[in-house]
């Protein structure tokens, strides 16, 4: 075992030990820790901005592009937002220890399920240093220990934030090692982290598809994955066309780069010639390129022809694929074939169509008369999110505090015996 592997192993062992203590922490302690971190973020702004300046300097030397520099930057404003987020998460109800409905069995024993922390959560993320705070806060509140592995570009910012986090934990009588940042940018560290099944219970990879694909090959620890969002809006024959216009426009243009952005618009044949020209005007005004199926091109002759690869693509850009369909069945089939099971929406005034779409579209979020860009933990009332899961098991869609817990069975009896 080399020294890097040894040091990751030691981090894992410390996380496991801290996790056992976090499991028992009271909500008061956890809230106190988060509030102490928020206060420290407020008072340490100059030091944090200084640490961040080192990362920015190095990033500029390496000619990183503007959006990346933007995501890397800790400004006064982002620091204020991070402190706010900590205070919000501190105020949320503690999921740990809550009991589901109690059943009484025929022999009189009582049975229920209790929410408990997952244990040790490993989070692998890229350059945004605010994830360090959000992820730590969600894991602390849900009673987990956390191992953070941030992007190498943000190492100085993250180290400074990690100190504030550990001090906040100790301040509340909790183990400082309940949140640990891997203090090296060596890539091999990730390989050790995702195979340490004895000390890590789940890995949350936040980053591009290539990161997740690479980790899927290596990982032995289960992952809560966040893969692509190839999201659809289907405008039904029974749609209110004014609503349909606004929903489709918002779904695409609220922000192009988010996983909940609409990538393909499906339109029922009977309404296509009415709605598409109006929608095309609005999209063109916003600078969105339109790619259509042959029937769409008849209505929108200026659009580019779409090929099969357009149905499959998550553009994350001002490009929209449009297809005209014969029926809700064909819309559901299109989504089953080409979608990524992320977020899909129907626009309709027909309750039966709404129910069928809700039931039969097998995506982690299914909407009626709403734009897909609502796919976000904050919008769902989860406070914040550790990611948007495209897994089928455990947690689907935005993952907040509840997704960072699991349930155990608790049974109480009076010496009932078996057999």
**DSSP assigned state of 369:** S
Query: Smallest gap, in angstroms, from Cβ of residue 197 to its own copies?
Result: 9
Torsion of CA 117, 121, 125, 127, to 10 degrees: 80
Residue number, 82 or 373, with CB nearest to its own copies: 373
Distance CA 143, CA 22 (A): 5
219, two tokens: 């990982």
115, two tokens: 């929410």
Pairing mode, if any, of strands 365-368 and 262-268? unpaired
Burial class, 250, CB count within 10 angstroms (exposed 0-12 / middle 13-18 / buried 19+): middle
Distance CA 209, CA 93 (A): 33
Query: Smallest gap, in angstroms, from Cβ of residue 373 to its own copies?
Result: 5
Query: Smallest gap, in angstroms, from Cβ of residue 114 to its own copies?
Result: 7
Query: Smallest gap, in angstroms, from Cβ of residue 204 to its own copies?
Result: 11
Residue number, 7 or 26, with CB nearest to its own copies: 26
User: Which parts of this chain interact with its own copies (CB under 8 A)?
Assistant: 20, 23-24, 97, 103, 105, 109, 111, 114, 116, 118-119, 201-202, 216, 220, 222, 224, 240, 242-243, 246-247, 250, 254-255, 336, 354, 358-360, 362-371, 373-374, 379-381, 391-394, 396-398, 406-419
Q: Which of 395, 375, 20 is nearest to 233 (CA)?
A: 375
Residue number, 46 or 287, with CB nearest to its own copies: 287
Residue number, 186 or 240, with CB nearest to its own copies: 240
Query: Smallest gap, in angstroms, from Cβ of residue 382 to its own copies?
Result: 10
Query: Smallest gap, in angstroms, from Cβ of residue 60 to its own copies?
Result: 31
Residue number, 350 or 360, with CB nearest to its own copies: 360
Residue number, 114 or 159, with CB nearest to its own copies: 114
Q: Which residues lie below 8 Å from residue 284, measured CB to CB, with a gap of 6+?
A: 290, 302
Residue number, 46 or 419, with CB nearest to its own copies: 419
Phi, psi of 120, rounded to the nearest 5 degrees? -120, 125
Q: Which of 182, 180, 224, 225 is nearest to 202 (CA)?
A: 224
Give CA separation, 260 vs 118, 257, 266, 276, 331, in Å. Answer: 27, 9, 16, 22, 18
Query: Smallest gap, in angstroms, from Cβ of residue 323 to its own copies?
Result: 20
SS3 string of 118-170? CCEEEEECCCCCHHHHHHHHHHHHCCCEEEEECCHHHHHHHHHHHHHHHHHHH
Query: Smallest gap, in angstroms, from Cβ of residue 396 to its own copies?
Result: 6
Residue number, 300 or 361, with CB nearest to its own copies: 361
């Amino acid at each position: 075992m080399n020294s890097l592997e040894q040091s990751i192993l030691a981090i894992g062992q410390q996380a496991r030990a801290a996790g056992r203590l976090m499991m028992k922490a009271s909500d008061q302690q956890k809230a106190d820790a988060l509030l102490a971190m928020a206060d420290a973020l407020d008072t340490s702004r100059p030091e944090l901005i200084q640490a961040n300046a080192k990362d920015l300097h190095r990033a500029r030397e390496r000619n990183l592009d503007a959006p990346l520099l933007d995501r890397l930057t800790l400004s006064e404003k982002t620091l204020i937002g991070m402190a706010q987020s900590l205070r919000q998460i501190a105020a949320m109800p503690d999921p740990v220890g809550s009991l589901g409905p109690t059943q009484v069995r025929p022999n009189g024993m009582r049975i229920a399920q209790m929410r408990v922390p997952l244990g040790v959560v490993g989070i692998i993320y890229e350059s945004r240093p605010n994830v360090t705070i959000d992820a730590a806060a969600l894991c602390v509140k849900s009673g987990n220990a956390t191992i953070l592995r941030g992007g190498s570009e943000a190492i100085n910012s993250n180290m400074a934030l990690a100190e504030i986090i550990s001090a906040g934990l100790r301040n509340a009588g909790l183990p400082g090692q309940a949140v640990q940042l891997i203090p090296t940018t060596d890539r091999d560290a990730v390989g050790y982290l995702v195979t340490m099944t004895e000390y890590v219970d789940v890995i949350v990879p936040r980053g591009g598809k290539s990161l997740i694909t690479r980790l899927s090959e290596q990982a032995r620890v289960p992952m809560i994955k966040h893969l692509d969002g190839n999201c659809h809006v289907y405008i039904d024959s029974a749609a209110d066309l004014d609503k349909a216009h606004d929903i489709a426009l918002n779904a695409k243009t609220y922000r192009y780069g988010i996983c909940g952005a609409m990538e393909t618009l499906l339109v029922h044949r009977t309404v296509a010639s009415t709605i598409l020209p109006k929608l095309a005007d609005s999209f063109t005004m916003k600078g969105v390129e339109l790619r259509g199926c042959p029937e769409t091109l008849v209505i929108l002759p200026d659009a580019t022809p779409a090929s099969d690869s357009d149905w499959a693509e998550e553009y994350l850009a001002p490009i929209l694929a449009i297809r005209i369909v014969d029926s809700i069945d064909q819309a559901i089939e299109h989504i089953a074939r080409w979608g990524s099971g992320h977020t899909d929406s129907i626009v309709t005034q027909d309750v039966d169509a709404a129910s069928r779409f809700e039931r039969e579209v097998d995506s982690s979020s299914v909407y009626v008369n709403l734009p897909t860009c609502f796919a976000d933990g904050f919008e769902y009332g989860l406070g914040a999110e550790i990611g948007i899961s495209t897994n089928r098991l455990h947690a689907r869609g935005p993952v907040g505090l509840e997704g960072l817990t699991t349930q155990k069975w608790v049974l109480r009896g009076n010496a009932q015996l078996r057999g």
